[in-house]
Chain A
Amino acid sequence: MASGPTKEMLAELASRPGRDTIVSTFIKAVFIGLSLLFLAALLFAPLVTVFVTALEKGYEMYFESFRDSDTIAAIRLTLITAAIVVPVNTVFGIAAAWAIGKFEFRGKSMLITLIDLPIAVSPVISGLIYVLLFGAQGWFGIWLQEHDISIIYALPGIVLATMFVTFPYVARELIPLMQQLGNDEEEAAITMGAGGLMTFFHVTLPKIRWGLVYGVILCNARAMGEFGAVSVVSGHIRGMTTTMPLHVEILYNEYNFVGAFAVASLLTLLAVVTLIVKTLVEWRTGYTRTK
């Protein structure tokens, strides 16, 4: 998060001679007004709607929504998927950040671009590629059928598609951070005889831990909330292969608005918690993210 004007800047602004303050105040009011109006219409109103609609028929109906067995199954599938995807992508993110952040080698910027690729690709394509590989008419479709392995319309497909979509998040947080922090302390540790793992856990990890926390939390939020990619590979089998966002869609299309928005409210809370963690991390480290 970018920091706002400092006290000194504001004091300096106020003391400037020659500013026609009426016009300044007017412009300021217009800018703040436009900003708030735009955000209110596009962001705040929809967020409030989620909770208002979820609680429309009272708290009892709201909590009743979570007793539905398909909803429980959807929550469980989402948790399982995130429990597989997030640790794997975290290990990848740390490995990639170590290789890219600590060493100079040829093709480094190419590697960074390729790691960012899933962010530029449509979520629908993220699902489509796995269908083309493992679907019934895909490259490995017949072989998989003969061996009675299902990937598409089953958990492995959902995990793969989610992994693709959330692949860059931990790496993206850690690479600039590691580059910025430099190698001096690690080199000192190695020179004094520490092993590679010891150096990582005792020297590097404490320096990057807040960036890592945010990367993991963001990766988790995206993993639990992914819709497009998972939608393509899931097959929408109710209570079996529907994650929470897909279950929101099913309930919504059945005009069960309380149920749909109740599940949506959980996902919204997840996003709110993610933003709180992000703000705390930035407040804690005081570093501005370099994007």
Chain B
Amino acid sequence: MSFRAPSILPGFGITLGFSTFFLSAIVLIPLAALIAKTGTMGWGDFVSTIFDARAIASYRLTFGASLLAATLNGVFGFIIAWTLVRYEFPGRKIIDALIDMPFALPTAVSGIALTAVFAHNGWFGQYLAPFGIKVAYTWIGIVVALTLIGLPFVVRSVQPALQEVQRDLEDAAETLGAGRFYIFRRIIFPTVMPALLTGFTMAFARAIGEYGSVIFIAGNLPMKTEITPLLIVIKLEQFDYAGAAALGFMMLVISFIMLLSINLLQAWGRRRHVAAGR
């Protein structure tokens, strides 16, 4: 194949040219500046920046909280998607529409609102406090914020997959004497799994980079409740551009890996889809 397949439609050159130019100017060149800035650091400086104790504590928190949040999203996102696809109940359509709320709501708003609800005198915080459970200003609060942010990804990924499940297969299995759990395990779950994993990875990727909603509820104590994006901001405020760039570079590499995993998972899902003869 030559560079492009022939077509009688006009405007290929100008639209592709403009898109790639704009993409380069706004996204690619600035990202290259980050990599270049990291490159100006000596190897020793780079290593000592990214393996600094405070940085490592922030990775542990960011990854741990994101993983926990994405897992919660996997479980509850699946339950919510199942409820929305398979059951009819009053308010279903409104709830379906509201699932995208965390996506449309500015992160600063979800941050202050969650903090208000989970603070020791908040609506939920006051009932948790007597049990010694502190949510706001602890790592639990970070998980709560990240769970809210990641929710739409799993639900929106699993919903269409659940609709694809072949009901006649379920019926056939049932006539052949399969139990409810067996049908779920052997028919429903395998169909939905690629979508569930994609949603999980998207929620995880989003959680790792999240900043706005977390900083309000986190308390932001160094070594304890300080996420990596915040550490980058702190380094920038101290005019440590190279240090900020090194941590930013690390996060960028992780984002690339995440993006690649999501693409591979989606391709896998499509292949299974085709293999199933649909």
| Residues of A bordering B, CB below 8 Å | 1-5, 9-10, 16, 18, 23, 28, 31-32, 34-36, 38-39, 41-47, 49-50, 53, 92, 95-96, 98-100, 102-106, 111, 113-118, 120-125, 128-133, 135-139, 160, 163-164, 167, 183, 186-187, 190-191, 195-196, 199-200, 218, 221-222, 224-228, 231-232, 244-246, 248-249, 252, 257, 260-261, 264, 267-268, 270-271, 274-276, 278-279, 288, 290-291
Question: How many A-B pairs with Cβ below 8 Å?
Answer: 311
A53-B116, A122-B208 given as contacts; is B102 within 8 A of A43 (CB)? yes
B98 at interface by CB-CB < 8 Å:
yes
By the criterion CB–CB under 8 Å, are A118 and B107 in contact? no
Residues of B within 8 A of A226 (CB): 106
Task: Tell me the nearest residue of chain B to A197, going by C-beta.
Answer: B11
Give me the 9 closest cross-chain CB pairs, A-B, nearest first: A225-B106, A122-B209, A46-B113, A227-B212, A105-B4, A228-B211, A196-B10, A129-B30, A104-B5
User: How many whole Å from A133's CB to the nearest CB in chain B?
Assistant: 5
Question: Number of B residues contacting the other chain (C-beta, 8 Å)?
Answer: 100
By the criterion CB–CB under 8 Å, are A96 and B19 in contact? yes
Q: A122-B229, A136-B239 are in contact. List 15 more A-B contacts (CB 8 A).
A: A1-B97, A35-B95, A42-B114, A102-B7, A105-B16, A114-B28, A125-B229, A125-B248, A130-B30, A164-B27, A196-B10, A226-B106, A231-B211, A261-B116, A275-B97
Q: Which of the 9-residue segments B41-49, B51-59, B152-160, B185-193 touches chain A?
A: B152-160
Residues of A within 8 A of B108 (CB): 225, 227, 245-246, 248-249, 264, 267
Residues of B within 8 A of A34 (CB): 76, 79, 83
By the criterion CB–CB under 8 Å, are B116 and A187 in contact? no
By the criterion CB–CB under 8 Å, are A274 and B114 in contact? no
Task: Tell me the nearest residue of chain A to B4, going by C-beta.
Answer: A105
By the criterion CB–CB under 8 Å, are B159 and A2 in contact? yes
Which label, helix, strand, loop or mixed, suits the secondary structure of the B interface? helix
Residue of A102, A132, A138, A290 most packed against chain B (CB within 10 A): A132
Task: Tell me the nearest residue of chain A to B97, going by C-beta.
Answer: A279
Task: Tell me the nearest residue of chain A to B156, going by C-beta.
Answer: A291
Residues of B within 8 A of A128 (CB): 34, 232, 236, 244-245, 248
Residue from A28, A43, A245, A270 in contact with B87 in the complex, judged by beta carbons closer than 8 Å: A28
B20 at interface by CB-CB < 8 Å:
yes
30 residue pairs from A and B, CB less than 8 Å apart: A4-B85, A4-B92, A5-B88, A34-B83, A35-B84, A47-B101, A49-B122, A53-B116, A92-B22, A96-B15, A96-B19, A114-B28, A120-B256, A120-B258, A121-B31, A121-B252, A122-B248, A123-B211, A124-B233, A125-B34, A128-B248, A129-B31, A131-B236, A137-B239, A225-B106, A225-B109, A227-B211, A232-B233, A248-B112, A276-B97
